[in-house]
Structure 1
Amino acid sequence: MSFTPPPPPVFTGEHYHIWVVKMKTYFQMHDLWNVIENDTEPPPLRANPTIAQMRQHSEECSKKHKAMACFRNGVLDVIFPRIMACDSPKQAWEKLNEEFMGSDKTRQQQMINLRRDFENLMMKESETIKQYSDRIIATVNSIRLLGVDFSESRVVEKVITTLLEKFKSKISSLEESRDLSAISLFELINFLYAPEQMRANRQEEHPVGAFQAKANEGSGSN
């Protein structure tokens, strides 16, 4: 089957960290990332080159122009003036990084704040597993978007050690059958979320019974 590559992702001026990840993948897909990283000219042709060598050299020389075209099509008109005067795709990439990602000092401070946020995360009494895992994943993704390798095992450990007391028996049960150091975050969340989902489904199917059970609980406590 033929494959028509999609157009480059468009940067609107917001969520630059996400656009950078998408754009890097786009350049890699088109074999253009090397001209962003290195900004080097291909070596000159040797004497008496073959047609294949000339074609290859021409393709290598055109990569910078292709990358610049991707940049110009990958930003809105309000962003384009920032890179309009850039002579190379590497220069355009660095120009956007400098303006929208901030200096090394700024990124370092962002990293410190996000790590602190991650360490301080605790499950709230009012939260479901899904709500808590969404909070953790959002923080972890923000850290990863800054280019930091954040292991999944560390995230799994964070979830396990900060759950409410009512989940401890579930974790103990899971520990008997699985190696918790090797379990994925997806598996852990699904294991913990399944009982919550079943209870929610039962309440939707039998709302009167659920209401009556709550009423009985309330009268029994008086």
Structure 2
Amino acid sequence: MEANTTHIIPPPVFDGEEYDLWVARMTTHLEALDLWELIEEDYAVWPLPENPTVAQLKNHKESKTRKAKARACLFSSISKIIFTRIMNLNSVKDIWDYLKSEYQGSEQTKGMKALNLAREFEMQSMKETKTIKSYADKLLSIANKVRLLSKDFSDERIVQKILVIVHEKYESKISSSEESKDLSNITLGELVNALQAQEQRRMMRHEEAVQGVFHIKAQNSRGGKDKKNNKWKKKKPAESSNKQQNDTFSPCPHCKNQTTLKKMLVEA
């Protein structure tokens, strides 16, 4: 029974950039569809003989269908501009070889690409805003591009780059790693995980310190409001007392009684 391949996601469309990356993904894609042998060694589909058998008819149809599937797969994985260059090529192998000669280039060209990538690798520096993970991912991405050109690029070289360029704030962790394990044998994953753990602890301490500052500011702000309210409460009774005194006449010289202005006006 033919395998169900409807769940296989096609590779991204090749637009002329990062050919080696596209080849790696396309190779796996064709192998999953059982079509890679058409790239390695194409075969011819011979005409059917007179009065073919059922088996001959079946094999002939399957051979034509597989070649059509492989061709359609390549056509659907390239941009429109590139398609116009290879649409007249009938053989799947001819299409593959054309793309290889056009975009991969000679060994000399591959060597120059690898050299430029090596220079880019050496120029990478870790900025204060970058995390250990993002910096390591950038270095690994460049290394993988070199590897796609069939050039050797070891993880040890990435480890050495990180150890040399890493910030001073990680030196304590590197020193402790030297005491517990030989750094010449540490893997890239172990180094990144160790430095990332220290980075996360520093971030947590920084967040706690920031929260503490905000808490102190909030307390000071509430304390200032309380002082202002207490001052207003003390001032308000005095003002009320002064107002009451202003509304009261001095004692009468004859009866010695204090009569409010309001009462005198009512009696008058």
TM-score by length of 2: 0.61
Segments of 5+ residues of structure 1 without an aligned counterpart are: 44-49, 212-222
Corresponding position of 1:214: none
Q: Residue 13 and residue 56 in structure 1: after superposition, are their counterparts in 2 closer, same or farther (change >3 A)? A: same
Candidates 8, 14, 32, aligned match of 2:10: 8
**1:9 alignment partner AA:** P
1:151-190 equivalence runs, <5 A: 151-190=154-193
Alpha carbons of structure 1 residues 199 and 99: separation in structure 2 relative to 1, 3 Å: same
Percent of paired sites with the same residue? 43
Which of the two has higher C-alpha Rg?
Answer: 2
Take 1:182 and 1:40, find their aligned partners in 2: how far apart are those partners?
49
| Residue in structure 2 matched with residue 145 of structure 1 by the alignment | 148
Specify every segment of 5 or more residues in structure 2 that has no aligned partner in the other structure, as ranges: 47-52, 215-268
Please tell me the root mean square deviation across aligned C-alpha atoms, in Å. Answer: 3.7
Query: What is the match of residue 27 of structure 2?
Result: 24
Question: 1:109, 1:156 → 2: CA distance?
Answer: 24
The AA in structure 2 aligned to 1:202 is R
Question: Cα offset for 1:104?
Answer: 3.6
1:94 aligns with 2:97: yes
Q: 2:11 is aligned with what amino acid?
A: P
Letter in 2 for 1:8: P
Letter in 1 for 2:86: I
Shift of 1:78: 3.3
- 3-state SS of 1:31 partner: coil
Q: 1:40 to 1:175 in 2, by over 3 A?
A: farther
Task: Summarize the Cα distance change of 1:167–1:198 in structure 2 as closer, same or farther, 3 Å threshold.
Answer: closer
Question: How many residues were matched structurally?
Answer: 208
Aligned pairs for 1:62-101 (under 5 A) are: 62-101=65-104
Structure-2 separation of matches of 1:143 and 1:125: 27
TM-aligned CA deviation for residue 25 of structure 1: 1.0
- Does structure 2 conserve the Cα–Cα contact (< 8 Å) formed by 1:82 and 1:96? no
1:25-73 C-alpha deviation (Å, 9 max, x unpaired): 1011112222212334599xxxxxx988986686456433321111112
Q: Distance in 2 between matches of 1:52 and 1:12?
A: 38
Whether 1:37 and 2:60 are equivalent positions in the alignment is: no
- CA drift at 1:150: 2.4
Alignment match, 1:118: 121
Give the whole-Å Cα distance in 2 for the aligned partners of 1:56 and 1:92: 24
Supply the distance in 2 between the matched residues of 1:100 and 1:158 (Cα, whole angstroms).
31
Normalized against structure 1, the TM-score is what? 0.72
CA contact (8 A) 1:111 1:143 kept: yes
* Correspondence for 1:135: 138
